[in-house]
Amino acid sequence: MLIITNGDAAVGALRTAGVRAAYLPWRDVLHEGPVPGGLTLEELSRVRARFIAQRGWGSLAEVTRDFERRDRRLANARHHHEIVLWFEHDLYDQLQLVQLLDWFASAPIQDATLEMICRHEYVAEVDPAVARLRLDQRDPVSRRVLTLGAEAWRAFTADDPNGWVRMADSTSDLLPFLGPAFRRLLEELPAVGTGLSRSETQILQALDGGATTPGTLFRACQREEQAAFMGDASFFSIVNDLAAGEHAAIAPNEGGAFAHPPPRPLTRDWLGQELILTDAGRAYLTGEADLAALHPIDRWLGGIHLSSPSVWRWNSASGAVVRPS
């Protein structure tokens, strides 16, 4: 049996639970950085490796090697008798899951059986007995599931977020967590009125509410998520961006300089530094100022390149995206 799951922590937990299998951890933060459509897995892996290396999360050579090893193991998955996709309900996992479903939709796996486990729980946190029970409860992956997964992957990698809206409205029992995951993805677009993503909004609200250090901000914002999906490296990159530029929303308390970018590995001093909400930050929260209009944006969400001055926006009241003007 080959189990493909969301990363090393999940692999370690399943091994500790006594789930005997070969493992392939699927390590990629697909909710961050470019994921353009129309590429082969190998071509996309090169794009992702460059992005991750630019983030400072590893050298280009080592990250590229990791992706190449991962992709070779996936290509050889057909040699296993059973292949199990074991993923969680949150955005991070759902994007990984639909990437794999899209791949398996067109990849011959010969006589291998493709199955799936996806529950409203975090793999690394389940009790060992529950993990073994989940393995016994695995579901076959039907052609309909593969088709829906491929449709979701095409929507995610498109350069127009209207497909995300269609996926967010999905209520299919085949992939029940897909709709909420895509809605959470839409909330990472700049909001109409404030220019803040939901993550940025939660950070500024937590800071205004008394969470005054990067470490306490992270914990406060995790509690606001119905399905926490963001790791600390991605989160602190957002904090870093909010503290940068002429119209910064965050500043160090009592003057001084905010450490750009966050150190890797994170240090106790960096996590414990005191921060305050600036006047600009308060104006963004109230809608008196628009972050996306004042602070240049140059980032990717899936297949969409958000680049100032005109960017796609999310209108939570109407449940619709607003096209760049």
What is the topology classification, in CATH, of domain 198-296?
Arc Repressor Mutant, subunit A (1.10.10)
Which parts of the chain sit beneath pLDDT 50?
A: none
Q: What is the pLDDT at residue 273?
A: 87
Cis peptide before 265 (omega within 30 of 0): yes
Q: What is the pLDDT at residue 263?
A: 79
Q: What is the pLDDT of residues 15-60, one digit of tens each?
A: 999 999 999 999 999 999 999 999 999 999 999 999 999 988 899 9
Where does the chain hold its CATH 1.10.10 domain(s)?
A: 198-296
Which residue pairs, CB below 8 angstroms and at least 24 apart, start in 198-202? 199/230, 199/235, 199/238, 200/238, 200/242, 200/249, 200/284, 200/291, 201/285
- The span from the CA of 114 to the CA of 27, in Å, is 20
Q: What is the pLDDT at residue 257?
A: 59
Q: Indicate the Cα dihedral angle 248, 272, 91, 167, nearest 10°.
A: -20
- The span from the CA of 77 to the CA of 65, in Å, is 18
- Kindly report the CATH class assigned to 2-186: alpha beta
- The span from the CA of 138 to the CA of 123, in Å, is 14
Q: What is the pLDDT at residue 167?
A: 97
pTM for the full predicted model: 0.95
Q: What is the pLDDT at residue 108?
A: 80
CA atoms within 13 A on the CB side of 92: 20
Q: What is the pLDDT at residue 111?
A: 83
Where does the chain hold its CATH 3.40.50 domain(s)?
A: 2-186
Helix (H) or strand (E) holding 314: strand 313-315
Q: What is the pLDDT at residue 78?
A: 87
- CA 200 to chain CA centroid, Å, is 15
For the chain, what is the radius of gyration of the CA atoms?
20
> How many CB atoms lie under 10 A from the CB of residue 301?
22
Q: What is the pLDDT at residue 317?
A: 93
User: What 3-state DSSP class applies to 49?
Assistant: helix
Q: What is the pLDDT at residue 231?
A: 93
Q: Letter for the amino acid at 201?
A: T
Q: What's the start-to-end Cα distance of the chain, in Å?
A: 51
In the numeric block, the tokens 């729980």 are attached to 121
